[in-house]
């Protein structure tokens, strides 16, 4: 009896809680998704296209693709087939219940508001109940961001594949995060002083990098940051690790661009409420922007020019734009899946549909240097594929089938369980289930 | 049993005047209530010391034809027409006769809905650009502050107002925050440019009273109390006990005018008006078990709860809400940000609707309030995914006639029917589509927003110079 039950659970939950061998064998299966309207993103849409998934990778995409005899065929006629979406700025997995401190793992105290050594993914909970709803609704890749302070720490790009954090990591670190929009949270008095502090960190990192031996002999002056923070900043000043600068005001974005030029940094603008005002400069500097499309409130003196056309205007100017959700905030981790709504609104406010799809798939993959792994349906890419009932951005459309690395995980989310439990209510105050 | 409790607790007069479940009772007119009032007369029922000075903007007789109409009172009228005249809806149907001087608008391929209603807004009381200077929503100095009125915090120049109008919202209930057990009076506003809050106040609208359950009050008052949920409940009951005595004293004096008028007490004035049925209870409450307790408290003191707000667990108690005639003002998909929000499900609104309770999409958010039909669309999709059959005709009620009912204004707004206020939104496409936008918005027959006429867009004083003009 006990054995039978566990078999049943194993079958219904998928393999993630069980042996890796089971996972691998399941992933080795070949799947052919046929007849759908296929959006590879890296190329033009294919009506009635076929997508072949083998060994967790995309094996072929096209209109006339030979289907291996042993393939499991999935008829997607009338459906839309896209790469899995990438939410490129979230705190999914590092916040479970934002008002319960014990479940908040997105920030580090650091030293004097500098926490460059903080690796946010080490605190990620792959068993968070928030992951399944995101996965189920078509998000297959995320960038988990640290937040707070001047230098918040390091972000990671993760697959939402069920398993351990180790299984999930695609690139970690994928970027360093700094917040330069608010002097008080950086522990200084003004914008200019904030940049002084950031410059001091960059200078110290340079110095630390070249005088390492002297540092170890305790023959250097004191540094603004700790040893581990300086160490973590080295790839940033080498230009190999992007620095995400979270910033809204146009003048602050301009200052970030000056800083990047001065130190040869590879930067990405995060938030960027007023980025549209400096769109040409961002395009010329080839600086990607991560921004939403549902913000239009002059909600602070740093974001007076915030508007929903931001993403579309940036794209039109030639900026690589990735769409992100409503940013760190109360229901953010609950609603990672609402990325599609951002994309739809971006279209309503001037972005082309194709660019909006790109902004939730290939654009972030390129911005983070992982387009060889995710973000498009091309041979060799991870087999992250979503079959949608219709236009994925429409609120009435559903992600009917979601494949991550070639596998489906048809799990019940906690929300599904609650909905099922309370769908039929008894005539008393008793619980609807007797057990 | 309830009648008996009513007699014992309230006295016969209050019971007789308290509206029944359908609350069709019109408010007592000011002249009636003012009769024979001496000093302290504001403790009279329906006193109105800050009267609405709203005057409708000038409008033209307008015929919109060839348009798909979600009336919120029946099936979608395809390719129909509506006539707006003298601030009212003169006619709506498949074909409508229009006077020769009417402005004719061709709505081919477009949709009409009633002006949207958000019954949970903090516009004006938490105004942009934010910060302490404009943070006026929570009088968090006492766990019970029925004496504060949200309208005294509303900044009419909040740049969030014109954005809400552009999102098709024509009526808002602005509430105090949820720090307190009893947070104060709400105010119902028309989303119109005005120099004063009085100029925005919906004429004749009842006040609401904000109450809050659970985590917020016990967190805010952890050191002075209440610091527990049982402390919260003791706090509500103590307030109602005091209010009941106050009401009895004043109702007696209002009848016999014997001796000096009793001393006025601002907080009890408001609570007494709740007990008389003249102020509607809007109760922030997340958990099912707490909602059930709030219902019992309402019964103990003989008032009705008009709506539970947030109610992320309303689906667990949807049958009770239906039975008690309490609406659920809910989010489509906010959850998990605190323990009492942990059990949020996206099918909540659909499940409450299916149980026969009035389901309402509310925002509590200046951004979400601009996209109420998108929120409704998400809630509808979640319901359908959970196997609950739903139509767009049902879902449009969540953002129109149902919130209108929660404000006691369903006889004036919330549906497109002859005789109702001409609050109308013309959408570029189906309002449940993520791609559709409000194109034109009428309030009382006056076109106050026209997307195609950017030079005429309402800009608050604050925006001048500070917020760049967006004309592209």
In angstroms, what separates the C-alpha of A202 from chain B's closest C-alpha? 32
Task: Return all residues near B96 (Cβ < 8 A) that are at least 6 apart.
Answer: B63, B65, B80, B81, B82, B83, B90
B118 part of contact set with chain A, CB < 8 Å: no
Considering only CA atoms, which of A350, A323, A353 is closest in space to residue A338?
A: A323
Interface of B with A in 364-423 (CB under 8 A): 366-367, 370-371, 374, 377-378, 380-381, 384-387
Choose among B215, B366, B434: nearest Cβ to A344.
Answer: B434
Distance CA A230, CA A205 (A): 5
Chain B residue numbers touching A317 (CB-CB < 8 A): none
Structure tokens given for A384: 């992250």
Beta A80-83 vs A31-38: how paired, if at all?
parallel
Contact B336 A96 (CB under 8 A): yes
**pLDDT at residue B11 in the model:** 32
CA-based nearest residue in chain B for residue A396: B381
A425 part of contact set with chain B, CB < 8 Å: yes
The overall average pLDDT reported for chain B is 92
pLDDT in tens, A388-405: 999 999 999 999 999 999
CA-based nearest residue in chain B for residue A313: B472
Buried b / exposed e along A397-411 (16+ C-beta atoms within 10 A): bbbebbbbbbbebeb
Choose among B351, B374, B387: nearest Cβ to A395.
Answer: B374
pLDDT in tens, B377-426: 999 999 999 999 999 999 999 999 999 999 999 999 999 999 999 999 99
- The more confidently predicted of residues B187 and B30 is B187
Return the H-helix or E-strand segment holding A346.
helix A339-348
Three-state DSSP class for residue A232:
helix
Three-state DSSP class for residue B62:
strand
Interface of B with A in 123-142 (CB under 8 A): 128-131
In angstroms, what separates the C-alpha of B82 from chain A's closest C-alpha? 26
**ipTM, 2 dp:** 0.93
Considering only CA atoms, which of B191, B31, B216, B21 is closest in space to residue B123?
A: B191
Three-state DSSP class for residue A135:
helix
Task: Return all residues near B202 (Cβ < 8 A) that are at least 6 apart.
Answer: B52, B54, B171, B188, B189, B190, B409
Interior angle at CA B355, CA B349 and CA B361, nearest 5? 20
B14 confidence band (pLDDT: 50, 70, 90):
very low
**pLDDT at residue B469 in the model:** 84
Task: Return all residues near B2 (Cβ < 8 A) that are at least 6 apart.
Answer: B299, B302
A433 part of contact set with chain B, CB < 8 Å: no
Distance CA A49, CA A46 (A): 5
A396 part of contact set with chain B, CB < 8 Å: yes
Interface of B with A in 2-31 (CB under 8 A): none
**pLDDT at residue A342 in the model:** 97
In angstroms, what separates the C-alpha of A219 from chain B's closest C-alpha? 46
CA-based nearest residue in chain B for residue A96: B336
B41 confidence band (pLDDT: 50, 70, 90):
low
B470 confidence band (pLDDT: 50, 70, 90):
confident
**pLDDT at residue A332 in the model:** 87
Contact A130 B318 (CB under 8 A): no
pLDDT in tens, B61-106: 999 999 999 999 999 999 999 999 999 999 999 999 999 999 999 9
Chain B residue numbers touching A345 (CB-CB < 8 A): 371, 374, 434
pLDDT in tens, chain A (435 residues): 333 333 333 434 444 443 343 444 445 589 999 999 999 999 999 999 999 999 999 999 999 999 999 999 999 999 999 999 999 999 999 999 999 999 999 999 999 999 999 999 999 999 999 999 999 999 999 999 999 999 999 999 999 999 999 999 999 999 999 999 999 989 999 999 999 999 999 999 999 999 999 999 999 999 989 999 999 999 999 999 999 999 999 999 999 999 999 999 999 999 999 999 999 999 999 999 999 999 999 999 999 999 999 999 999 999 999 999 865 455 788 999 999 999 999 999 999 999 999 999 999 999 999 999 999 999 999 999 999 999 999 999 999 999 999 999 988 999 999 999 999 999 999 999 865
Distance CA B284, CA B391 (A): 28
B46 confidence band (pLDDT: 50, 70, 90):
confident
* Helical residues (DSSP H) of A247-316, grouped into ranges: 250-263, 279-284, 310-316
Chain B residue numbers touching A297 (CB-CB < 8 A): 128, 159-160, 163, 366-367
Chain A residue numbers touching B216 (CB-CB < 8 A): none
Contact B434 A395 (CB under 8 A): yes
- The more confidently predicted of residues B360 and B40 is B360
Contact B377 A330 (CB under 8 A): no
- The more confidently predicted of residues B24 and B89 is B89
Burial class (CB within 10 angstroms; exposed 0-12, middle 13-18, buried 19+) of A123? middle
B362 CA to centre of own chain: 9
**pLDDT at residue A434 in the model:** 64
In angstroms, what separates the C-alpha of A414 from chain B's closest C-alpha? 8
Interface of A with B in 246-305 (CB under 8 A): 277, 294-301, 303-305
What number of helices (H) and strands (E) belong to chain B?
A: 14, 17
**Quick check: B26 pLDDT over 60?**
no
**pLDDT at residue B35 in the model:** 38
Considering only CA atoms, which of A423, A342, A257 is closest in space to residue A87?
A: A342
Q: In the 8-state DSSP scheme, what is residue B262?
A: P
Chain A residue numbers touching B467 (CB-CB < 8 A): 298, 304-305
Chain A residue numbers touching B429 (CB-CB < 8 A): none
Chain A residue numbers touching B130 (CB-CB < 8 A): 299-300
Strand ranges (E), A227-310: 243-247, 267-271, 289-291
Chain A residue numbers touching B126 (CB-CB < 8 A): none
A313 part of contact set with chain B, CB < 8 Å: yes
Q: What percent of chain B has pLDDT over 70?
A: 91
In angstroms, what separates the C-alpha of B192 from chain A's closest C-alpha? 17
Contact B129 A298 (CB under 8 A): yes
Distance CA A66, CA A73 (A): 12
Return the H-helix or E-strand segment holding B270.
helix B266-275
**pLDDT at residue A51 in the model:** 98
Interior angle at CA B194, CA B190 and CA B198, nearest 5? 70
Distance CA B41, CA B35 (A): 10
Chain A residue numbers touching B432 (CB-CB < 8 A): 395-396
A181 part of contact set with chain B, CB < 8 Å: no
Q: In the 8-state DSSP scheme, what is residue A114?
A: B
Contact B468 A305 (CB under 8 A): yes
In angstroms, what separates the C-alpha of B434 from chain A's closest C-alpha? 5
**pLDDT at residue B389 in the model:** 96
B471 confidence band (pLDDT: 50, 70, 90):
low
Contact A423 B437 (CB under 8 A): no
B54 confidence band (pLDDT: 50, 70, 90):
very high
CA-based nearest residue in chain B for residue A347: B435
- Chains A–B, number of C-beta pairs less than 8 Å apart: 131
**pLDDT at residue B13 in the model:** 31
**pLDDT at residue B50 in the model:** 97
**pLDDT at residue A185 in the model:** 87
CA distances from residue A419 to A121, A426, B343 in whole angstroms, order as listed: 31, 14, 9
Chain A residue numbers touching B384 (CB-CB < 8 A): 396
- The more confidently predicted of residues B165 and B34 is B165
Three-state DSSP class for residue B452:
coil
């Amino acid at each position: 009896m006990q054995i039978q039950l566990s078999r049943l659970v194993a079958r219904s939950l998928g393999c993630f809680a069980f042996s890796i061998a089971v996972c691998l064998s399941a992933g080795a299966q070949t799947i052919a998704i046929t007849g759908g309207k296929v959006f590879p993103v890296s190329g033009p849409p294919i009506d009635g296209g076929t997508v072949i998934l083998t060994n967790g990778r995309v094996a072929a995409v096209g209109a006339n693709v030979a289907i291996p005899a042993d393939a499991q065929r999935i008829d997607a006629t009338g459906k839309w087939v896209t790469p899995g979406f990438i939410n490129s700025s979230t705190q999914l997995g590092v916040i479970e219940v934002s008002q319960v401190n014990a479940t908040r793992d997105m920030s580090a105290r650091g030293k004097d508001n500098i926490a460059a050594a903080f690796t946010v993914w080490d605190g990620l909970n792959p068993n968070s109940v928030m992951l399944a709803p995101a996965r189920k609704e078509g998000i297959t890749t995320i960038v988990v961001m640290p937040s707070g302070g001047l230098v918040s720490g390091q972000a990671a790009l993760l697959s939402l594949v069920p398993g351990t954090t180790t299984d999930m990591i695609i690139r970690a670190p994928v970027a360093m995060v700094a917040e330069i929009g608010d002097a008080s949270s950086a522990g200084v008095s003004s914008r200019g002083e904030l940049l002084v502090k950031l410059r001091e960190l960059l200078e110290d990192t340079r110095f630390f990098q070249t005088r390492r031996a002297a540092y170890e002999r305790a023959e250097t002056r004191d540094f603004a940051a700790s040893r581990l923070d300086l160490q973590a900043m080295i790839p940033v000043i080498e230009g190999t690790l992007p620095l995400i600068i979270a910033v809204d005001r146009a003048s602050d974005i301009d200052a970030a661009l000056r800083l990047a030029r001065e130190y040869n940094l590879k930067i990405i603008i995060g938030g960027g409420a007023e980025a549209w005002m400096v769109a040409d400069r961002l395009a010329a500097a080839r600086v990607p922007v991560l921004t939403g499309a549902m913000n239009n409130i002059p909600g602070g003196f740093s974001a007076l020019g915030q508007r929903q056309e931001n993403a579309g205007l940036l794209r039109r100017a030639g900026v690589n734009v990735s769409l992100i959700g409503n940013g760190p905030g109360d229901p953010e981790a609950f609603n990672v899946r609402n990325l599609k709504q951002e994309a739809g609104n971006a279209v309503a406010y001037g972005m082309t549909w194709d660019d909006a799809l790109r902004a939730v798939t290939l654009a972030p993959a390129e911005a983070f240097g992982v387009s060889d792994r995710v973000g498009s349906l091309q041979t060799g890419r991870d087999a992250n594929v979503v079959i949608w009932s219709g236009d994925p951005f429409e609120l009435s459309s559903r992600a009917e089938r979601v494949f991550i690395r070639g596998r489906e995980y048809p799990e019940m989310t906690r929300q599904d369980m609650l909905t099922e439990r309370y769908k039929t209510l008894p005539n008393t105050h008793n619980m609807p289930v007797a057990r | 049993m309830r009648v008996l409790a009513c007699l014992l607790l309230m006295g016969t007069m209050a019971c007789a005047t308290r509206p029944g479940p359908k609350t069709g009772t019109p408010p007592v007119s000011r002249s009636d209530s003012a009769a024979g009032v001496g000093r302290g007369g504001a403790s009279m029922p329906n006193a109105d010391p800050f009267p609405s000075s709203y005057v409708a903007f000038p409008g033209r007789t307008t015929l919109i034809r060839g348009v798909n109409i979600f009336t919120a009172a029946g099936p979608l009228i395809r390719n129909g027409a509506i006539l707006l005249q003298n601030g009212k809806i003169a006619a709506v149907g498949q074909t409508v006769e229009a006077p020769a001087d009417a402005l004719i608008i061709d709505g081919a391929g477009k949709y009409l809905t009633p002006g949207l209603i958000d019954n949970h807004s903090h516009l004006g009381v938490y105004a942009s650009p934010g910060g302490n200077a404009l943070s006026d929503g929570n009088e968090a100095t006492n766990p019970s502050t029925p004496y504060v009125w949200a309208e005294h915090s509303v900044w009419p120049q909040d740049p969030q107002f014109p954005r809400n109008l552009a999102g098709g919202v024509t009526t808002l209930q602005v509430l105090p925050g949820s720090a307190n057990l009893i947070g104060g009076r709400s105010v119902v506003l028309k989303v119109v440019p005005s120099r004063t809050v009085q100029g925005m106040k919906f004429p004749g609208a009842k006040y609401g009273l904000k109450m809050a359950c659970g985590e917020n009050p016990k967190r805010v008052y952890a050191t002075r109390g209440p610091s527990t949920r049982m402390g919260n409940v003791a706090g509500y009951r103590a307030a109602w006990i005091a209010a009941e005595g106050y009401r009895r004293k004043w109702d007696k004096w209002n009848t016999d005018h014997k001796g000096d008028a009793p001393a006025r007490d601002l907080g009890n004035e408001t609570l007494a008006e709740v007990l008389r049925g003249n102020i509607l209870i809007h109760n922030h409450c997340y958990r099912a078990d707490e909602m059930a307790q709030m219902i019992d408290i309402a019964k103990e003191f003989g008032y009705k709860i008009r709506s539970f707000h947030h109610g992320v667990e309303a689906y667990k108690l949807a049958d009770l809400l239906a039975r008690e005639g309490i609406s659920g003002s809910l989010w489509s998909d906010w959850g998990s940000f605190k323990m009492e929000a942990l059990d949020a499900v996206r099918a909540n609104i659909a499940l409450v609707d299916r149980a026969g309770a009035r389901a309402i999409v509310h925002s509590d958010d200046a951004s979400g309030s601009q996209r109420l039909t998108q929120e409704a669309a998400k809630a509808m999709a979640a319901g359908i995914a959970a196997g609950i059959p739903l139509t767009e005709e049902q879902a449009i009620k969540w953002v129109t006639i149902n919130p209108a009912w929660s404000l006691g204004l369903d006889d004036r707004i919330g549906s497109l029917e002859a005789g109702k206020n001409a609050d109308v939104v013309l959408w570029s496409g189906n309002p449940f589509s993520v791609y559709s936008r409000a194109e034109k918005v009428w309030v009382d027959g006056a076109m106050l927003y026209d997307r195609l006429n950017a030079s005429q867009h309402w800009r608050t004083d604050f925006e001048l110079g500070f917020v760049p003009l967006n004309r592209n």
